[in-house]
Structure 1
Amino acid sequence: MEGFLNELKRLSITVPNVVRLYCSSVYLNWRNRNEVAHGKNAKPVSVFVAKIIFTAFLISNPLIASWGANLPGEFQNIWHPPPPGWIKINVDAALLTSYFAGIGGCFRDDKGRLLIAFGEKRMHWDIATLELDAVMTIRKFIQPWMLECKGLILEGDNLNVIKFIQNSLNKAKWQSYNRVEENLLFLADFNKVLFIHVHRNCNRVANMCATLALENNFFFDSSSFPCIPRSLTSILKKECEPLI
């Protein structure tokens, strides 16, 4: 076993992508065995093959992996913290039939701890425009120290909005989306930025922030955490329990 690990370490330097594929395969196999051990049905080989091919595709296309990676299905039911040293931001919007609306979001670290929560009232008729506005609004809440993080993950549950942003940030298409480009230039200050579409179940805190914003604007950071409404803290607690 020691010899195998040494060889794997050597290969991680010369052919790191091969090692990544191997580790992904081992993990998927372990996960399947673990689910069977807990009474669940085993997944067919075709599922593993598809996931490995998907992983290989992302490895060979780093731009797509960075700007357009949708997480595999089994990761889309619950919120997951970002990698060590990263910050994750979730955003959402809420819209009433009266056109009263709210946008909101939350910043969390790699341990799932809340850094910032915000919400702002709006008046609009289109939910996609509101969710795009929520993304652009995070610029106001970026703190200088955040620019030192390894990367930023921005998640939303509106697939069309996430795809629109990804296309807007494609250099070949910037001429067509000047407004979006200008409003997202602040992201260039980060080491790396990922835009990811997630299931609504992974976006509950941001959704609650947007809902609370229907009544009033708010901003919570470390100095005002005691003022956070119970409806928001309860969701945060539920999402953090699996991480403890």
Structure 2
Amino acid sequence: MTISTFSFALMNVSVKYLDRIPTFQIVFFRCFGSLVLATTYILLKGIPIFGIKRRLMLLRAVLGLTAMSLFFFSLKYLNVGTAVSLRYIAPIFAAVFAVFFLREKLKKIQWLFFLTAFAGVLVLKGFDGNINTVGLALILTASVFSGMVYVVIRKIGVSDHPAVVVNYFMFVGTVIGGLLAISVWVRPLGFEWMFLLLLGVFGFMGQLYMTKAFQIAKTNLVAPLKYIEVIFTISIGVIWFQEAYTIYSFIGLLMIISALVLNTLVKKD
């Protein structure tokens, strides 16, 4: 899980570095790289590439692509660590959607954790002058779509291999991202080529090692570790981009992450 979170952190800061490159061009490279790696993996393992629940996997792909694009857009307005932290509010929306669409039940204490997380967002917006309103709106909307993704994945269940589900996402992202990037294409320069090509590698490694972590250890032990991504991302952002955080930033981020970790632990009891 540590390798996974570090891989995702590297992907996040790579997107931040590519600020000059249009978002849909970044989406194209991110998805194309992972598509090649995931397809190769599926073929080598002899896994049926088209899967069973195709409509649900296509829906998951569209929702995931929307969430990814909005997240990448938000990085043009927010510190990378702040954007990643706010993106993790997605499980709250997922839990609420699951109540209505999957008839799941929430414990009362979970509502307290959700309110604490949203209070953390208010602390960030209300006291941290570095929080851009457009960026905040983009990342919160991305979290809503990510929440929908979680619910659709639950509906897919174990009928399809995780690599196939991811591959649908990467295929749709490659096609749509590529088409939308044509009119705004910018020629990458220097190290931009390297970071664009590494996006898919970092993303694939993140997905692969996260899956392996959940396969070999209990969920309630592994799941909270995914928030290490925030620590990695903030650290790299401060060192690489000289990003600044106020005391209110850290208070708000601590409220959000603590509430979500506690929710993960309670949910698995």
Rg (Cα) greater in structure: 1
The structure, 1 or 2, with the larger RCO (C-alpha pairs under 8 Å, 6+ apart) is 2
Q: Of Structure 1 and Structure 2, which has the larger fraction of its residues in strand?
A: 1
TM-score (norm 1): 0.29
Q: Of Structure 1 and Structure 2, which has the larger fraction of its residues in helix?
A: 2
